Amino acid sequence: MLKSHIHQVSNSISLPPLSTPFIIDQHSSSSAISRNVLVKKRRGGSIRNMSASTTTTATMISTSSVDKFAMVKGVISVQPTISGVLTSVTVGLIGTVADRVSDLFGKSFLVELVSTDLDSSGNEKETIKAYARPLNDGSKLNKYQCEFKVPYNFGDIGAVLVENQHRQEAYIKDIVLDDGSVIFPCESWVHSKYENPDKRIFFTDKSYLPSKTPVGLKSLREKDLETLRGNGEGERKPFERIYDYDTYNDIGDPDANSDLSRPVLGGDQHPYPRRCRTGRPMTSTEPWSESRTTLPFYVPRDEDFSEIKEVTFGATTLFSVLDGAIPMLESILTDSGLGFSSFMDIGSLYTERVNMIPSNNGLLSAVPRLIQTIVNSTKSYLQFETPRMKERDSFSWFRDEEFCRQTLAGLNPYSIQLVTEWPLTSKLDPEVYGPAESAITKEIVEQEIKGFMTLEEALEQKKLFLLDYHDLLLPYVNKVRELEGTTLYGSRTLMFLTSTGTLRPLAIELTRPPNNGKPQWKHVYTPSRDATDAWLWKLAKAHVLAHDSGYHQLVSHWLRTHGATEPYIIATNRHLSKIHPIHRLLCPHLRYTMQINSLARLALINASGTINTSFSPKKYSMQLSSDAYARDWRFDHEALPADLVSRGMAVEDESAPHGIKLTIEDYPFANDGLLLWDAITRWATTYVNHYYPQPNLVESDTELQAWWTEIRTVGHGDKKDEPWWPQLKTRQDLIKIVTTIMWVCSGHHSAVNFGQYDFAGYFPNRPTIARTKMPNEDPTVEEWEAFISKPEDVLLDSFPTQIQATRVMSILAVLSTHSPDEEYIGTNIEPAWAAEPVIKAAFEEFSGEMKAIETIIDSRNRDTNLRNRRGAGLVPYQLLKPFSEPGVTGKGVPYSISI
C-alpha cells in the first residue's frame, strides 16, 4: 500500500460511520467543570452561527430560571485517509476489532471542554467531559458526535482536550459546537492513547497575543508549546509532533561506501540553515554523521500530508518517482556513461515508448504524466511529454537571444546582475587561483557593440549585464575534474541591453585555475559566423547553461526557498502558539514543506541522489550550496525589491509604482513579482495592524520575540552575528519580516520551480552537466581533429548521459506539476481569518487582487512591445499567475513550497 512507502506510522483511522445507537455515559458530565456556553439566538430561539468576531465563544442561554446547565452538542470531523479509501472493505487495514467496539459503545473520542475563566479560588475550572460516537450524515468526512452538560457559570469555551480511544491515529479536521457557535480548527493527527497518554489540545478560532490570552488558557498555551519543543533527546517516533534543530549531517552514507561520505553542513566550516532533528543513530564509521534509512525520514506528524491529500499530492508523487520510476530507468539504462548519439535520439524521448518492468507496488499510478499503462495489458512504458518550449519552437534553445531572454523570463531570473565596475575582477586569492582580472577586455566589448557606444558609455547608461559564476565555481574546478564524467570552469557571461529592451550576449569567459604545474587557463568566446568559432561559442554556452542550471537548483531553488524556510517552520511551531495571530497568518505558507525537504534529503540532495550524480559539481554540489549561503544569503535581501536593488536590477524610487525603478523595463519576473509582492505587503499590513493596534505590542510580545530570536540565532545560527538582520521592534518591522517569508514560500518558489519541465524538460536548453572540457583547452591533435571533423558529436558528448537526462527529466516533470487539490495563494480562507470581520474583509480584498494580477499578466503577454514576453515561438511568462489547472502548466502560485 501507498502508506507503507510514504510514512511509517502504525495505522490511520478511516472508519465508515456506524449506525449503532449512541450509548450515553451517565457519568460523562458528573465531573463537569462549570462553564458558560456562548450562544446567539435567531428568530424562533434557535442557535445560529455567531458573527466572526465572537464565533469562537458561546454563552449559556437558560430556558428557564430553574435550569442550571445547557446541553451542548459537538461534532468531530475526521478526514478519511488514502489507505482507508483504497481499502475500506478490509477491516484489518482500517481499524481493529477493539476500535469497532469503541465505536459501538459510543467511546471513539473523549472530549473535554476548557473554560477561559478561573474558578472563584483562582484555579482552572474542571473540564466538561463527553464521549463521541459515530454519526452518519452522508458527508465525505467521518463524523463523530458528542453531547455536553454545561453548567451555567462555566464561562466561555476556549479550548478542548481530545483523547483518541482507538488504537489507530486519526486526522481531525475540526470540532464544531452547536452547529458553528464554537469552532476548533484542528487539521491535525491525533495519536492513540495507547501510543501516548497525553491529551491533545485544540483552541478555538479566536486569535490571541500572549498578553491577551484568557487566564483559563494560559497554562494550556504554554503546555502545548512545550510539547512541540520536546527535550532534544532520543530518536523521534513517527507519531510525535516535536520540532527541533539539527545540522545537515545525514546527506552522506559513509557506512555504505566511503565515497558517499559528505561533510556536515551547518557550523563554522560549512555554514548552512538547520533542518529538523530526527535523532537517528550516528554511523559506525563517522560518529558525526547521522545514519540513513531507506524509508522517509521523520517529520513532525502534522507535517506529513501524504495520507490525507489526493494520491497525486506532490510528496506522494515525488516519492513515487524516486522510489519507483528512477530505479526502473536505471535497470533499463545499464550503461551509466552512455550518451546520446544524435539530436534525433534526444527527440525520440518524446515520440517513442520505452518498455518498462511493471510495478507491483502501485507507486507509478501516481505519475500519469510519465508512466502510461497500456489498456488491458500488464506492460508499462515510459514516454515523456514534449516540453512547451520545444513544442513551440524546436530550435529556440539554439538562439543567442533566447539564451539571454531566459535570464529575465526563464527558470533562474535571480542571477543576472548589472555591471557597475570595470574591469571585471575576481575576489579570490591570485596566489592560488591565478590573475584576478578578467580576460574580457574593453576592446572585446567595443568590438561586439560594433561602434554603437564606448564601454564607458555602456557602463554609464546601464547597458551591461552579467552572469557571474567565476568566484563561486573556480575553487571547485580542480576537485571536480578529478571525478569521472564531468568537468568544470569558472564562468562569466557578459550581455548588452539593446534599444528594443532585449539582451544579446557579448562574451563568455571560461577559466581553469592553476593545477599540477599548469598555469591558469582562461579563454573568451564571442558569437561568430566563422564555423569553428561558432561551434566553440555553442559549446561555451552549454557550459554556462550547466553552471546556471546547477546554481538555479542548488541556490535559487533549494537553498533560498526549501532550505532557508525550514528554520521558519521549526521556530514558528516551537514559539508561536496555535492561537497566535502570526502563526495563523504564516500557517498556509509553511504547510507541506518539511515533508518535501525530508524526501529531498532522502533521495535528491543526498550523496547518491540525483543532484550529486547529474549536475556538474557532482559530489561537491551541496558543499557549493553551503559556500553560496555563507557568501551571499541575507534575510533582508530575500525581499523581492531588496533583491532586485542588490543586483543592480532596480534602484529605489519613491515615485515609481512599487517604490523601485527597474533597470531593464521589460523584466517579466520582476514586473509580475512586484505585483504579487505589493499585494502580500498590503494583506500583511492590514493583518498586523489589526492584531497589534499599539506599537509597543510587537516588542512586548514574548512569543514573537522568542520566535525571531531563534530564527536568527539557531535556525540560521551560522549567520547570527551579521549586522543586516532586521530588528523586530515595530509593526513595520514585523510587516517586512512576514511579507518576506510569505513571498519566499509563494512567489519566489513558484518562479523557480513550476517552469522546470517547460524550460529544462528538453535538456539541450538547460543541460545539468557539461561532461567534457572545451576542445581548445590544451587539446591533443586527435581531440582537435575530432572536433573539427564533427563538432556536433563533441556537443552531444558534453551533454548529460541517457540515465542522467531521463532521471532529471522525470523529477522535473513531478516538481513542475500542480496536484488537483493545490492550495493557491488568495484561496481557501483560514477559519481564524474568517472569524474576524476585519481580517475576513482584508483577505477578500487580497483574493480579489490575485484575480486582478491574473488579468494584468495576461494583458502583458499579449503586448507585442514586450519582446521578452511575446514573440514567435516564445513561451509566455506565466509563472507568477496566481492560479492554475492541475498538471504541468507553467503557472500558478501555491501558498507554500508544496513540491
**Residues with a known catalytic role:** 557, 562, 749, 753, 899
Do residues 145 and 200 touch, judged by C-beta distance below 8 A? no
The grid cell for 552 is 538555479
The residue with cell 552537466 is 769
What are the distances in angstroms from CA 155 to CA 7, 58, 60, 111, 887?
41, 8, 8, 17, 50
Per DSSP, which regions of 438-563 are E strands? 464-468, 490-497, 503-512, 521-525
Give one DSSP letter per residue of 532-578, joined into a string: HHHHHHHHHHHHHHHHHHHHIIIIIIIIIIIIHHHHHHHHHHHHS-T
Q: What are phi and psi of 475, to 5 degrees?
A: -65, -15
What are the distances in angstroms from CA 3 to CA 239, 296, 308?
14, 11, 11
Distance (Å, rounded) from C-alpha 411 to C-alpha 658?
Answer: 23
Distance (Å, rounded) from C-alpha 631 to C-alpha 470?
Answer: 13
Torsion of CA 588, 591, 597, 600, to 10 degrees: -100
Q: What is the CA radius of gyration of the chain?
A: 30
Say what angle helices 837-861 and 668-691 make with each other, to 10 degrees.
170
* Helix (H), strand (E) at residue 175: strand 170-177
Give one DSSP letter per residue of 282-351, joined into a string: BPSS-TTSB---SSPPP--GGG--TTTS-TT-HHHHHHHIIIIIHHHHHHH---TT---SSHHHHHHTTT
Distance (Å, rounded) from C-alpha 481 to C-alpha 486?
Answer: 7
* Helix (H), strand (E) at residue 405: helix 400-409
Q: What are phi and psi of 549, to 5 degrees?
A: -65, -45
Question: What is the Cα 509 distance to its own chain's centre?
Answer: 34
How many of the other CB atoms lie within 10 Å of CB of 747?
Answer: 25
Q: What are phi and psi of 131, to 5 degrees?
A: -95, 150
What are the distances in angstroms from CA 860 to CA 104, 193, 385, 868, 870?
61, 57, 28, 10, 9
Question: What is the Cα 442 distance to its own chain's centre?
Answer: 43
Please name the residues in contact with 65: beta carbons below 8 A apart, sequence gap of 6 or more: none
What are the distances in angstroms from CA 260 to CA 257, 281, 534, 609, 612?
5, 18, 40, 10, 10
